[in-house]
Amino acid sequence: MSDSSKHIAVLGGGPCGLYAARVLTRAGYAVTVLDKGDRPGGLATSHLRNGNWYDMGCHMLHEFDKEIYEDIMEMMGEESIPVQLDAKIRWAGSFYRYPLQPKDMLRGIDFFTLCYYVLGLFAAQLRSNLVPWVPKNSEEALIMLYGHPLYEFFFKDFTHRYWGIHPSELSATFVTQKMPRLSAVDMIKKWLAKVGIKDRNVRAVDSALLEETLHYSRTGAESMPRCIAKAVEAKGGNVIQNAEVTRIVIDEVTHRVKAVRYRQNGEDLELACDECISTIPIPHLAQRADPLPPEEVLVAAREIRYKPIAIYGLLVNKPKCIDALYIYYRDRAFHRVGEPKNAGLKVEPPDHSILIVETTCEIGDEKWQGTDEIKERIFSDLEAENICTRDDVVQVNILHSENGYPIFALGFEPQLEKIKSWVKSIPNLQTAGRQGAFTYPNMHSAMRMGARAAEAAMARLRS
Protein backbone atom coordinates (compact mmCIF):
# COMPACT_ATOMS: atom_id res chain seq x y z
CA MET A 1 0.00 0.00 0.00
CA SER A 2 1.33 3.45 -0.87
CA ASP A 3 1.21 6.27 1.62
CA SER A 4 0.14 9.35 -0.35
CA SER A 5 1.00 11.64 2.58
CA LYS A 6 4.69 10.89 1.91
CA HIS A 7 6.29 13.28 -0.54
CA ILE A 8 9.18 12.41 -2.85
CA ALA A 9 11.33 15.12 -4.43
CA VAL A 10 12.97 14.24 -7.73
CA LEU A 11 15.77 16.60 -8.71
CA GLY A 12 16.17 16.88 -12.48
CA GLY A 13 13.60 16.12 -15.18
CA GLY A 14 15.66 14.22 -17.76
CA PRO A 15 14.68 10.62 -18.70
CA CYS A 16 15.98 9.26 -15.37
CA GLY A 17 14.12 11.68 -13.09
CA LEU A 18 10.94 11.61 -15.17
CA TYR A 19 10.83 7.83 -15.21
CA ALA A 20 11.43 7.67 -11.45
CA ALA A 21 8.41 9.99 -11.11
CA ARG A 22 6.42 7.80 -13.51
CA VAL A 23 7.02 4.69 -11.34
CA LEU A 24 6.25 6.57 -8.11
CA THR A 25 3.04 8.24 -9.30
CA ARG A 26 1.80 4.97 -10.82
CA ALA A 27 2.17 3.45 -7.34
CA GLY A 28 0.18 6.34 -5.82
CA TYR A 29 2.96 8.41 -4.22
CA ALA A 30 3.04 12.22 -4.16
CA VAL A 31 5.95 13.39 -6.32
CA THR A 32 7.43 16.69 -7.40
CA VAL A 33 10.04 16.88 -10.16
CA LEU A 34 12.16 20.04 -10.06
CA ASP A 35 13.94 20.77 -13.33
CA LYS A 36 15.95 23.83 -14.27
CA GLY A 37 15.29 23.51 -18.02
CA ASP A 38 12.37 25.25 -19.71
CA ARG A 39 10.98 21.94 -20.98
CA PRO A 40 11.23 18.34 -19.71
CA GLY A 41 13.87 15.94 -21.03
CA GLY A 42 17.32 17.26 -20.06
CA LEU A 43 19.83 16.24 -22.72
CA ALA A 44 17.12 14.19 -24.40
CA THR A 45 14.85 17.06 -25.36
CA SER A 46 14.57 19.25 -28.45
CA HIS A 47 14.35 23.02 -28.70
CA LEU A 48 11.93 24.99 -30.88
CA ARG A 49 13.69 27.61 -33.01
CA ASN A 50 11.81 29.57 -35.68
CA GLY A 51 9.17 26.86 -36.07
CA ASN A 52 11.50 23.83 -36.22
CA TRP A 53 12.63 21.36 -33.53
CA TYR A 54 16.35 20.81 -32.92
CA ASP A 55 17.67 17.94 -30.76
CA MET A 56 20.60 18.26 -28.39
CA GLY A 57 22.33 15.63 -30.57
CA CYS A 58 19.95 13.22 -32.37
CA HIS A 59 18.20 11.15 -29.65
CA MET A 60 16.41 7.93 -30.58
CA LEU A 61 15.00 5.35 -28.18
CA HIS A 62 16.36 1.78 -28.27
CA GLU A 63 14.02 -1.16 -27.63
CA PHE A 64 16.47 -3.08 -25.39
CA ASP A 65 14.50 -2.71 -22.13
CA LYS A 66 11.18 -4.31 -23.13
CA GLU A 67 9.21 -3.22 -20.07
CA ILE A 68 10.22 0.42 -20.36
CA TYR A 69 9.89 0.39 -24.13
CA GLU A 70 6.28 -0.91 -23.98
CA ASP A 71 5.37 1.64 -21.32
CA ILE A 72 6.85 4.46 -23.41
CA MET A 73 5.04 3.25 -26.54
CA GLU A 74 1.76 3.35 -24.63
CA MET A 75 2.44 6.90 -23.43
CA MET A 76 3.59 8.17 -26.84
CA GLY A 77 0.87 6.41 -28.87
CA GLU A 78 0.91 7.55 -32.47
CA GLU A 79 3.62 10.12 -31.84
CA SER A 80 6.27 7.38 -31.97
CA ILE A 81 7.87 6.64 -35.33
CA PRO A 82 9.78 3.33 -35.63
CA VAL A 83 12.91 3.70 -37.72
CA GLN A 84 15.60 1.23 -38.79
CA LEU A 85 19.07 2.04 -37.47
CA ASP A 86 21.04 3.39 -40.40
CA ALA A 87 24.31 4.81 -39.10
CA LYS A 88 27.68 5.09 -40.80
CA ILE A 89 31.31 5.76 -40.02
CA ARG A 90 33.41 7.83 -42.39
CA TRP A 91 36.88 6.35 -42.26
CA ALA A 92 39.86 6.66 -44.62
CA GLY A 93 37.76 7.96 -47.52
CA SER A 94 35.06 5.26 -47.28
CA PHE A 95 31.77 4.77 -45.50
CA TYR A 96 31.28 1.82 -43.14
CA ARG A 97 28.06 0.73 -41.52
CA TYR A 98 27.89 1.36 -37.77
CA PRO A 99 28.37 -0.92 -35.85
CA LEU A 100 31.45 -1.86 -37.90
CA GLN A 101 31.00 -5.21 -39.66
CA PRO A 102 33.75 -7.67 -40.74
CA LYS A 103 32.39 -7.83 -44.31
CA ASP A 104 32.60 -4.06 -44.73
CA MET A 105 36.12 -3.96 -43.31
CA LEU A 106 37.26 -6.61 -45.77
CA ARG A 107 35.71 -4.68 -48.63
CA GLY A 108 36.92 -1.21 -47.61
CA ILE A 109 40.48 -1.71 -46.35
CA ASP A 110 43.31 -2.92 -48.57
CA PHE A 111 44.67 -6.37 -47.83
CA PHE A 112 48.06 -5.32 -46.41
CA THR A 113 46.63 -2.68 -44.08
CA LEU A 114 44.08 -5.18 -42.83
CA CYS A 115 46.84 -7.77 -42.20
CA TYR A 116 48.72 -5.10 -40.24
CA TYR A 117 45.66 -4.44 -38.02
CA VAL A 118 45.03 -8.16 -37.48
CA LEU A 119 48.70 -8.71 -36.59
CA GLY A 120 48.51 -5.81 -34.11
CA LEU A 121 45.44 -7.33 -32.51
CA PHE A 122 47.13 -10.72 -32.44
CA ALA A 123 50.23 -9.21 -30.74
CA ALA A 124 48.10 -7.38 -28.14
CA GLN A 125 46.14 -10.51 -27.26
CA LEU A 126 49.24 -12.68 -27.20
CA ARG A 127 50.93 -10.21 -24.87
CA SER A 128 48.02 -10.16 -22.43
CA ASN A 129 47.86 -13.98 -22.55
CA LEU A 130 51.58 -14.34 -21.74
CA VAL A 131 51.86 -11.55 -19.15
CA PRO A 132 48.47 -10.64 -17.71
CA TRP A 133 48.42 -6.85 -17.27
CA VAL A 134 45.91 -4.40 -15.98
CA PRO A 135 45.79 -1.28 -18.18
CA LYS A 136 46.81 1.87 -16.28
CA ASN A 137 44.96 4.29 -18.56
CA SER A 138 42.70 4.34 -21.60
CA GLU A 139 45.66 4.37 -24.03
CA GLU A 140 46.78 0.98 -22.68
CA ALA A 141 43.19 -0.28 -22.53
CA LEU A 142 42.59 0.71 -26.18
CA ILE A 143 45.83 -0.98 -27.30
CA MET A 144 44.85 -4.09 -25.37
CA LEU A 145 41.40 -4.05 -26.93
CA TYR A 146 42.23 -3.19 -30.55
CA GLY A 147 46.00 -3.62 -30.95
CA HIS A 148 48.63 -0.92 -31.51
CA PRO A 149 48.10 -0.19 -35.25
CA LEU A 150 44.32 0.28 -34.98
CA TYR A 151 44.83 2.42 -31.86
CA GLU A 152 47.38 4.65 -33.64
CA PHE A 153 45.37 4.97 -36.79
CA PHE A 154 41.83 5.32 -35.51
CA PHE A 155 41.45 5.87 -31.79
CA LYS A 156 44.40 7.98 -30.61
CA ASP A 157 43.75 11.31 -32.38
CA PHE A 158 39.99 10.88 -32.41
CA THR A 159 39.84 10.34 -28.64
CA HIS A 160 42.27 13.20 -28.04
CA ARG A 161 40.29 15.65 -30.17
CA TYR A 162 36.91 14.54 -28.82
CA TRP A 163 37.87 14.95 -25.15
CA GLY A 164 40.66 17.50 -25.43
CA ILE A 165 42.62 15.01 -23.30
CA HIS A 166 45.28 12.52 -24.44
CA PRO A 167 44.11 8.88 -23.99
CA SER A 168 47.03 8.33 -21.58
CA GLU A 169 45.36 10.85 -19.24
CA LEU A 170 41.96 9.17 -19.34
CA SER A 171 41.06 6.30 -17.03
CA ALA A 172 40.84 2.74 -18.41
CA THR A 173 37.24 2.76 -17.08
CA PHE A 174 36.44 5.09 -19.98
CA VAL A 175 37.04 2.23 -22.42
CA THR A 176 34.91 -0.30 -20.55
CA GLN A 177 32.01 2.12 -20.07
CA LYS A 178 32.01 4.29 -23.17
CA MET A 179 33.80 2.71 -26.15
CA PRO A 180 31.43 0.71 -28.35
CA ARG A 181 32.39 -2.86 -29.21
CA LEU A 182 33.38 -3.40 -32.83
CA SER A 183 31.88 -6.63 -34.12
CA ALA A 184 34.63 -6.89 -36.76
CA VAL A 185 37.20 -6.93 -33.96
CA ASP A 186 35.05 -9.40 -31.98
CA MET A 187 35.10 -11.77 -34.95
CA ILE A 188 38.89 -11.67 -35.28
CA LYS A 189 39.11 -12.26 -31.52
CA LYS A 190 36.91 -15.33 -31.87
CA TRP A 191 39.33 -16.75 -34.46
CA LEU A 192 42.25 -16.01 -32.15
CA ALA A 193 40.43 -17.66 -29.21
CA LYS A 194 40.08 -20.83 -31.30
CA VAL A 195 43.88 -21.08 -31.40
CA GLY A 196 44.06 -20.50 -27.65
CA ILE A 197 44.77 -16.75 -27.64
CA LYS A 198 41.97 -15.43 -25.49
CA ASP A 199 40.65 -11.94 -24.81
CA ARG A 200 41.52 -10.78 -21.29
CA ASN A 201 40.59 -7.98 -18.92
CA VAL A 202 39.24 -5.20 -21.11
CA ARG A 203 35.80 -5.31 -22.65
CA ALA A 204 34.04 -2.41 -24.37
CA VAL A 205 30.29 -1.79 -24.20
CA ASP A 206 27.50 -3.22 -26.36
CA SER A 207 25.86 -0.21 -27.95
CA ALA A 208 23.85 -0.40 -31.17
CA LEU A 209 22.91 -3.52 -33.11
CA LEU A 210 23.09 -3.61 -36.88
CA GLU A 211 19.48 -4.76 -37.23
CA GLU A 212 17.73 -2.53 -34.76
CA THR A 213 14.53 -0.49 -34.60
CA LEU A 214 14.81 2.91 -32.95
CA HIS A 215 12.00 5.29 -32.00
CA TYR A 216 11.65 8.94 -32.90
CA SER A 217 8.86 11.46 -33.53
CA ARG A 218 7.68 14.24 -35.87
CA THR A 219 8.84 16.78 -33.28
CA GLY A 220 12.15 15.06 -32.59
CA ALA A 221 13.36 13.82 -29.20
CA GLU A 222 11.13 16.16 -27.16
CA SER A 223 8.03 14.03 -27.58
CA MET A 224 9.10 11.17 -25.28
CA PRO A 225 9.92 13.27 -22.15
CA ARG A 226 6.86 15.46 -22.77
CA CYS A 227 4.63 12.34 -22.82
CA ILE A 228 6.21 10.97 -19.62
CA ALA A 229 5.77 14.34 -17.86
CA LYS A 230 2.12 14.40 -18.97
CA ALA A 231 1.57 10.86 -17.62
CA VAL A 232 3.18 11.86 -14.29
CA GLU A 233 0.88 14.88 -14.02
CA ALA A 234 -2.17 12.80 -14.99
CA LYS A 235 -1.48 10.66 -11.90
CA GLY A 236 -1.26 13.72 -9.64
CA GLY A 237 2.52 14.38 -9.76
CA ASN A 238 4.05 17.83 -10.36
CA VAL A 239 6.71 18.53 -12.95
CA ILE A 240 8.04 22.03 -12.35
CA GLN A 241 10.22 23.60 -15.06
CA ASN A 242 12.58 26.57 -14.70
CA ALA A 243 13.12 25.38 -11.13
CA GLU A 244 16.81 25.32 -10.27
CA VAL A 245 17.64 23.35 -7.13
CA THR A 246 19.84 25.55 -4.94
CA ARG A 247 19.88 23.74 -1.55
CA ILE A 248 19.32 20.23 -0.30
CA VAL A 249 18.45 20.77 3.35
CA ILE A 250 19.66 17.99 5.66
CA ASP A 251 18.32 17.67 9.20
CA GLU A 252 21.29 17.94 11.58
CA VAL A 253 19.74 15.50 14.07
CA THR A 254 18.29 12.74 11.86
CA HIS A 255 20.80 13.34 9.06
CA ARG A 256 17.97 12.97 6.52
CA VAL A 257 16.99 15.30 3.66
CA LYS A 258 14.01 17.26 5.00
CA ALA A 259 13.52 19.83 2.21
CA VAL A 260 14.79 21.08 -1.11
CA ARG A 261 15.09 24.76 -1.95
CA TYR A 262 14.79 25.95 -5.50
CA ARG A 263 14.67 29.17 -7.47
CA GLN A 264 11.85 29.79 -9.90
CA ASN A 265 11.22 33.07 -11.75
CA GLY A 266 13.47 34.93 -9.33
CA GLU A 267 11.65 33.54 -6.28
CA ASP A 268 13.19 31.23 -3.64
CA LEU A 269 10.85 28.38 -2.74
CA GLU A 270 11.05 25.32 -0.50
CA LEU A 271 9.63 21.82 -0.89
CA ALA A 272 9.45 19.49 2.14
CA CYS A 273 10.14 15.83 1.36
CA ASP A 274 10.39 12.35 2.89
CA GLU A 275 12.61 10.90 0.15
CA CYS A 276 14.87 12.58 -2.39
CA ILE A 277 16.07 11.17 -5.73
CA SER A 278 18.71 13.36 -7.33
CA THR A 279 19.61 13.14 -11.04
CA ILE A 280 21.46 16.50 -11.16
CA PRO A 281 25.26 16.41 -11.58
CA ILE A 282 26.69 14.64 -8.52
CA PRO A 283 29.26 17.37 -7.70
CA HIS A 284 26.43 19.96 -7.63
CA LEU A 285 24.46 17.76 -5.24
CA ALA A 286 27.38 17.79 -2.78
CA GLN A 287 28.08 21.52 -3.26
CA ARG A 288 24.42 22.44 -2.67
CA ALA A 289 23.94 20.36 0.49
CA ASP A 290 23.09 22.33 3.63
CA PRO A 291 25.03 21.72 5.85
CA LEU A 292 27.90 21.09 3.45
CA PRO A 293 29.55 17.65 3.41
CA PRO A 294 33.07 17.14 4.88
CA GLU A 295 35.89 19.02 3.14
CA GLU A 296 37.30 15.87 1.44
CA VAL A 297 33.91 15.36 -0.31
CA LEU A 298 33.94 18.97 -1.51
CA VAL A 299 37.51 18.56 -2.79
CA ALA A 300 36.38 15.41 -4.65
CA ALA A 301 33.39 17.32 -6.08
CA ARG A 302 35.77 19.88 -7.58
CA GLU A 303 37.75 17.09 -9.27
CA ILE A 304 34.73 15.56 -11.04
CA ARG A 305 34.24 17.25 -14.41
CA TYR A 306 32.01 17.05 -17.46
CA LYS A 307 32.77 17.76 -21.12
CA PRO A 308 30.42 20.43 -22.47
CA ILE A 309 28.82 20.08 -25.90
CA ALA A 310 27.83 22.63 -28.54
CA ILE A 311 25.31 21.38 -31.06
CA TYR A 312 24.88 23.27 -34.32
CA GLY A 313 21.34 22.84 -35.60
CA LEU A 314 21.35 23.95 -39.24
CA LEU A 315 18.32 24.61 -41.40
CA VAL A 316 19.47 23.74 -44.92
CA ASN A 317 17.87 24.62 -48.25
CA LYS A 318 18.14 21.08 -49.59
CA PRO A 319 15.52 18.30 -49.25
CA LYS A 320 18.04 15.62 -48.18
CA CYS A 321 21.72 15.84 -47.29
CA ILE A 322 23.03 12.46 -46.09
CA ASP A 323 22.18 8.87 -46.84
CA ALA A 324 21.84 7.75 -43.19
CA LEU A 325 20.29 8.78 -39.87
CA TYR A 326 23.71 9.91 -38.75
CA ILE A 327 27.37 9.61 -39.74
CA TYR A 328 30.44 9.62 -37.47
CA TYR A 329 33.50 11.60 -38.61
CA ARG A 330 37.04 11.16 -37.40
CA ASP A 331 38.91 14.24 -38.57
CA ARG A 332 36.43 17.06 -39.02
CA ALA A 333 35.36 20.06 -36.91
CA PHE A 334 32.44 17.85 -35.78
CA HIS A 335 32.33 14.19 -34.71
CA ARG A 336 28.80 13.33 -35.81
CA VAL A 337 26.25 14.74 -38.23
CA GLY A 338 22.62 13.62 -38.01
CA GLU A 339 19.73 14.33 -40.37
CA PRO A 340 16.62 13.75 -38.22
CA LYS A 341 14.29 14.31 -41.19
CA ASN A 342 15.46 10.86 -42.36
CA ALA A 343 13.87 9.49 -39.14
CA GLY A 344 10.59 11.33 -39.70
CA LEU A 345 11.19 14.84 -38.25
CA LYS A 346 8.77 17.42 -39.68
CA VAL A 347 10.73 20.29 -41.27
CA GLU A 348 9.39 23.69 -42.35
CA PRO A 349 9.56 24.46 -45.24
CA PRO A 350 9.18 20.81 -46.32
CA ASP A 351 11.72 21.08 -49.16
CA HIS A 352 14.42 22.01 -46.58
CA SER A 353 16.22 19.73 -44.15
CA ILE A 354 17.84 19.99 -40.73
CA LEU A 355 21.35 18.90 -39.83
CA ILE A 356 22.38 18.26 -36.23
CA VAL A 357 26.12 18.85 -36.12
CA GLU A 358 27.67 17.63 -32.84
CA THR A 359 30.85 19.01 -31.29
CA THR A 360 32.50 18.83 -27.87
CA CYS A 361 33.92 22.08 -26.47
CA GLU A 362 34.74 24.09 -23.34
CA ILE A 363 32.39 26.63 -21.79
CA GLY A 364 32.97 29.98 -23.49
CA ASP A 365 35.40 28.73 -26.15
CA GLU A 366 34.99 29.37 -29.88
CA LYS A 367 32.72 26.37 -30.46
CA TRP A 368 30.57 27.28 -27.47
CA GLN A 369 30.23 30.86 -28.74
CA GLY A 370 29.82 29.87 -32.38
CA THR A 371 32.36 32.35 -33.71
CA ASP A 372 32.41 33.14 -37.45
CA GLU A 373 35.68 31.24 -37.72
CA ILE A 374 34.19 28.05 -36.23
CA LYS A 375 31.07 28.30 -38.39
CA GLU A 376 33.35 28.71 -41.40
CA ARG A 377 35.27 25.54 -40.43
CA ILE A 378 32.04 23.61 -40.01
CA PHE A 379 30.64 24.83 -43.33
CA SER A 380 33.85 24.03 -45.20
CA ASP A 381 33.97 20.51 -43.66
CA LEU A 382 30.31 19.94 -44.57
CA GLU A 383 31.14 21.06 -48.10
CA ALA A 384 34.21 18.82 -48.26
CA GLU A 385 32.02 15.87 -47.23
CA ASN A 386 29.45 16.77 -49.93
CA ILE A 387 26.76 17.20 -47.29
CA CYS A 388 25.76 20.74 -48.23
CA THR A 389 27.33 23.99 -49.39
CA ARG A 390 27.68 27.19 -47.30
CA ASP A 391 24.99 28.80 -49.43
CA ASP A 392 22.55 25.99 -48.58
CA VAL A 393 22.68 26.87 -44.86
CA VAL A 394 19.87 29.31 -44.13
CA GLN A 395 19.87 29.25 -40.30
CA VAL A 396 22.31 28.30 -37.55
CA ASN A 397 20.94 27.50 -34.08
CA ILE A 398 23.47 26.72 -31.38
CA LEU A 399 22.40 24.54 -28.42
CA HIS A 400 24.63 23.96 -25.38
CA SER A 401 24.97 21.66 -22.44
CA GLU A 402 27.59 22.16 -19.73
CA ASN A 403 27.18 18.48 -18.79
CA GLY A 404 27.42 16.67 -22.12
CA TYR A 405 29.76 13.83 -21.13
CA PRO A 406 31.24 12.77 -17.78
CA ILE A 407 35.05 12.97 -18.08
CA PHE A 408 36.69 9.79 -16.82
CA ALA A 409 40.02 11.51 -16.14
CA LEU A 410 42.85 9.41 -14.72
CA GLY A 411 42.19 8.80 -11.02
CA PHE A 412 38.54 9.96 -11.01
CA GLU A 413 37.23 6.72 -9.42
CA PRO A 414 38.27 7.30 -5.76
CA GLN A 415 37.00 10.91 -5.94
CA LEU A 416 33.63 9.75 -7.23
CA GLU A 417 33.52 7.03 -4.58
CA LYS A 418 34.03 9.65 -1.82
CA ILE A 419 30.96 11.58 -2.99
CA LYS A 420 28.90 8.40 -3.42
CA SER A 421 29.80 7.23 0.11
CA TRP A 422 28.67 10.58 1.50
CA VAL A 423 25.35 10.22 -0.41
CA LYS A 424 24.95 6.71 1.04
CA SER A 425 25.39 8.10 4.55
CA ILE A 426 22.11 10.05 4.10
CA PRO A 427 19.37 7.42 4.49
CA ASN A 428 16.67 9.02 2.30
CA LEU A 429 18.88 10.37 -0.51
CA GLN A 430 19.79 8.60 -3.77
CA THR A 431 21.69 9.77 -6.80
CA ALA A 432 21.00 8.25 -10.24
CA GLY A 433 21.15 8.81 -14.00
CA ARG A 434 23.84 10.05 -16.34
CA GLN A 435 24.75 13.12 -14.29
CA GLY A 436 23.86 11.68 -10.89
CA ALA A 437 25.76 8.40 -11.20
CA PHE A 438 28.45 9.97 -13.45
CA THR A 439 28.17 7.33 -16.15
CA TYR A 440 27.04 6.81 -19.77
CA PRO A 441 23.61 5.23 -19.95
CA ASN A 442 21.41 5.45 -23.03
CA MET A 443 17.91 6.78 -22.37
CA HIS A 444 16.39 3.36 -21.61
CA SER A 445 19.20 2.59 -19.11
CA ALA A 446 18.83 6.03 -17.49
CA MET A 447 15.09 5.35 -17.14
CA ARG A 448 15.84 1.92 -15.63
CA MET A 449 18.12 3.66 -13.10
CA GLY A 450 15.23 5.99 -12.27
CA ALA A 451 12.83 3.04 -11.85
CA ARG A 452 15.28 1.31 -9.48
CA ALA A 453 15.73 4.46 -7.41
CA ALA A 454 11.93 4.81 -7.20
CA GLU A 455 11.56 1.19 -6.06
CA ALA A 456 14.23 1.65 -3.37
CA ALA A 457 12.51 4.84 -2.13
CA MET A 458 9.11 3.08 -1.99
CA ALA A 459 10.59 0.09 -0.11
CA ARG A 460 11.99 2.48 2.52
CA LEU A 461 8.73 4.38 2.85
CA ARG A 462 6.84 1.11 3.33
CA SER A 463 9.20 -0.23 5.98
Ligand X SMILES: Cc1cc2nc3c(=O)[nH]c(=O)nc-3n(C[C@H](O)[C@H](O)[C@H](O)COP(=O)(O)OP(=O)(O)OC[C@H]3O[C@@H](n4cnc5c(N)ncnc54)[C@H](O)[C@@H]3O)c2cc1C
* Contact positions vs ligand X (CB under 6 A): 11-17, 34-37, 42-44, 57-62, 244-245, 279-280, 284, 309, 358, 404, 433-435, 441-444, 446
Q: Nearer Cβ to ligand X, position 118 or 231?
A: 231
Which has the closest alpha carbon to 44: 228, 252, 213?
228
Nearest distance from C-beta of residue 195 to ligand X, angstroms: 38
Contact between 277 and 430 under an 8 Å Cβ cutoff? The reply is: yes
Nearest distance from C-beta of residue 414 to ligand X, angstroms: 23
Nearest distance from C-beta of residue 204 to ligand X, angstroms: 17
Contact between 9 and 442 under an 8 Å Cβ cutoff? The reply is: no
Contacts with 191 (C-beta within 8 Å, 6 or more apart), sequence order:
none
Nearest distance from C-beta of residue 41 to ligand X, angstroms: 6
* Distance from C-alpha of 220 to C-alpha of 52, rounded to nearest angstrom: 10
The conformational region for residue 6 under phi > 0 = left, psi -120 to 50 = alpha, else beta, is beta
- The helix (run of H) or strand (run of E) holding residue 91 is strand 87-91
The alpha carbon torsion through 156, 162, 168, 173 (nearest 10 deg) reads: -110
Enumerate long-range contacts of 128-131, CB under 8 Å, 24 or more apart. Answer: 128/200, 128/201, 129/196, 129/197, 129/198, 129/200
* Distance from C-alpha of 9 to C-alpha of 20, rounded to nearest angstrom: 10
Nearest distance from C-beta of residue 47 to ligand X, angstroms: 12
DSSP string for residues in 311-364 = EEEEEESSS---SSSEEE-SSSS-SEEE-GGGGT---SSTT-EEEEEEEE--TT
Question: Phi and psi (nearest 5°) for 22?
Answer: -60, -50
Nearest distance from C-beta of residue 326 to ligand X, angstroms: 9
Nearest distance from C-beta of residue 223 to ligand X, angstroms: 14
Q: Nearer Cβ to ligand X, position 147 or 281?
A: 281
Q: Nearer Cβ to ligand X, position 2 or 219?
A: 219
Q: Nearer Cβ to ligand X, position 148 or 284?
A: 284
Going by their DSSP bridges, the two strands 289-290 and 30-34 should be labelled as unpaired
Nearest distance from C-beta of residue 394 to ligand X, angstroms: 23
| DSSP classification of residue 254 | T
* Distance from C-alpha of 427 to C-alpha of 405, rounded to nearest angstrom: 28
Question: Phi and psi (nearest 5°) for 262?
Answer: -145, 160
Q: Nearer Cβ to ligand X, position 46 or 137?
A: 46
* Distance from C-alpha of 216 to C-alpha of 198, rounded to nearest angstrom: 40
Q: Nearer Cβ to ligand X, position 229 or 409?
A: 229
Contacts with 91 (C-beta within 8 Å, 6 or more apart), sequence order:
108, 154, 330
Nearest distance from C-beta of residue 140 to ligand X, angstroms: 26
Q: Nearer Cβ to ligand X, position 16 or 333?
A: 16
Q: Nearer Cβ to ligand X, position 148 or 215?
A: 215
* Distance from C-alpha of 316 to C-alpha of 337, rounded to nearest angstrom: 13
Q: Nearer Cβ to ligand X, position 34 or 257?
A: 34
Q: Nearer Cβ to ligand X, position 43 or 316?
A: 43
Q: Nearer Cβ to ligand X, position 42 or 120?
A: 42
Say how many C-beta atoms besides its own lie within 10 A of residue 7's C-beta: 18
Nearest distance from C-beta of residue 260 to ligand X, angstroms: 9
Contact between 201 and 134 under an 8 Å Cβ cutoff? The reply is: yes
- The helix (run of H) or strand (run of E) holding residue 207 is none
Nearest distance from C-beta of residue 45 to ligand X, angstroms: 8
